[in-house]
Amino acid sequence: MKQLRLAILGQGRSGRDIHGAFLRKETEKFKVAYVVDPLPLRRQRAQEEYGCEVLENYQQLFDKTDIDFVVNATPSYLHPPITIDLLNHGFNVLVEKPFASTAAEADAMIKAAQDNGKMLAIFQQSRFAPYFKQVRKVLDSGVLGRIVQVSIAFNGYGRRWDWQCCQEFYGGSLYNTGPHPVDQALNILNYDGMPGILCKMDRANTFGDAEDYVKLILTAPDRPLIDVEICSCDAYPSFTYNIKGTRGGLKGVMDKINWKYFKEEEAPEQKLIKTPLCDENGYPAYCSEQLKWYEEEWTTKNLGTFTDATQDLYQTVYDHLMEGVPLVVTPQQVRQQIAVMEECHRQNPLSRMD
């Protein structure tokens, strides 16, 4: 089995604790050949943990000829310019989320990949999270009937004071957390055009100038309404998914999902009655019937977002580079996500800190 050689840009929470944690274990298919970080302590640690060559800046990679792809895990605001530079220098790139901050930036990145005939992949690993796979499995089975509404909540209570709560660094809940639920939402919506968007953003517990509350409503013709919420001031988070369908519903968190439904062929036959309803004794009555409900449950002890999902996404990169298999998460799909987020920010202009 061929081992792909790669470079990781950045050894922060993403570069080391997500990508690095996976790549230090998965050595059959991948070899970390280079790590780039401006901080000496991080370079020293990387040399010890990966046994790789360490560099201070990514331009030092330009004369290397033994790199199959580069993982761009730099701070969010550097994703577009560094990715474009890498592509223009002939590298395949796997870039962290957020892909970009505007559709124009995303278009420039996509164009650079096309012009240079190189891979541009985006690390949207939540598409492969075990709980989302289960949600998709239930939806695709059709047991819930026509889906009317999908509510997704990535909520909790917390305060934040790091660079990721600053607008100048592409911070805020929508760019930081949002790529996970919004990617899932658009995957469920399955609509090629620009959906209808209504968004409200606020600053609640943040010490920066970017939002930490987002309510996003997505609509499209003949599609369910999708309600995405990302909130840092929810002291009682109750669900990750709540789905309403014509024959049942689903609710759940990342380690437990329940769904119930009835079978239409087993339901009592009813017809519209426009005159007042009454019971057998002639008293006023209300619509009432007995439906046979089926209830199912899925549980897991492995949330898998940073393990199984990461492995699955890296496998798609491996298959693409080795066998030409199309990427599951495409730049065009994520470009739609960025266009949605750009519209959310247009609807909610926030003042900036000096």
Query: What pLDDT is recorded for position 301?
Result: 84
DSSP helix/strand/coil, 46? helix
Instruction: Give CA–CA dist 229/226, Å, rounded.
Output: 10
* Average pLDDT score, the chain: 95
Does 304 score more than 80 pLDDT?
Answer: no
Task: Report residue 109 as tokens.
Answer: 């990145």
Domain ranges of the chain: 4-123, 127-303+337-347
pTM of the shown model:
0.93
CATH fold, domain 4-123, is Rossmann fold (3.40.50)
**Sequence-ordered list of residues with C-beta below 8 angstroms from that of 211, at least 6 positions apart, any chain:** 172, 173, 174, 201, 202, 203, 348, 350
Instruction: Give CA–CA dist 215/149, Å, rounded.
Output: 15
Percent of the chain with pLDDT over 70: 99
Give the amino acid at 329: V
pLDDT 10s digits, 15-25: 999 999 999 99
Does 243 score more than 80 pLDDT?
Answer: yes
Neighbours of 259 (CB within 10 A): 24
Confidence of residue 130 (pLDDT cuts 50, 70, 90): very high
Does 303 score more than 80 pLDDT?
Answer: no
pLDDT 10s digits, 68-77: 999 999 999 9
Instruction: Give CA–CA dist 191/148, Å, rounded.
Output: 15
Instruction: Give CA–CA dist 72/13, Å, rounded.
Output: 13
Instruction: Give CA–CA dist 11/14, Å, rounded.
Output: 7
| Distances, alpha carbon 299 to alpha carbons 132, 153, 184, 243, 310, in Å | 12, 19, 20, 17, 20
Q: Give the CA dihedral 261, 250, 127, 158, nearest 10 degrees.
A: 180
CATH code of domain 127-303+337-347 = 3.30.360.10
* Mean pLDDT along residues 231-236: 94
Does 1 score more than 80 pLDDT?
Answer: no
User: Do 183 and 176 meet the contact criterion of CB atoms below 8 Å apart?
Assistant: no
Confidence of residue 314 (pLDDT cuts 50, 70, 90): very high
Confidence of residue 307 (pLDDT cuts 50, 70, 90): confident
The span from the first CA to the last CA of the chain, in angstroms, equals 53
pLDDT 10s digits, 246-287: 999 999 999 999 999 999 999 999 999 899 999 889 888 899
Instruction: Give CA–CA dist 315/310, Å, rounded.
Output: 9
User: Do 248 and 145 meet the contact criterion of CB atoms below 8 Å apart?
Assistant: yes
The CA-CA-CA angle for residues 217, 221, 222, to 5°, reads: 105
Write the DSSP symbol of residue 280.
Answer: T
Does 353 score more than 90 pLDDT?
Answer: no
Query: What pLDDT is recorded for position 279?
Result: 86
Given the DSSP bridges, would you call strands 225-231 and 147-155 parallel, antiparallel or unpaired? parallel
Does 240 score more than 90 pLDDT?
Answer: yes
Write the DSSP symbol of residue 192.
Answer: S
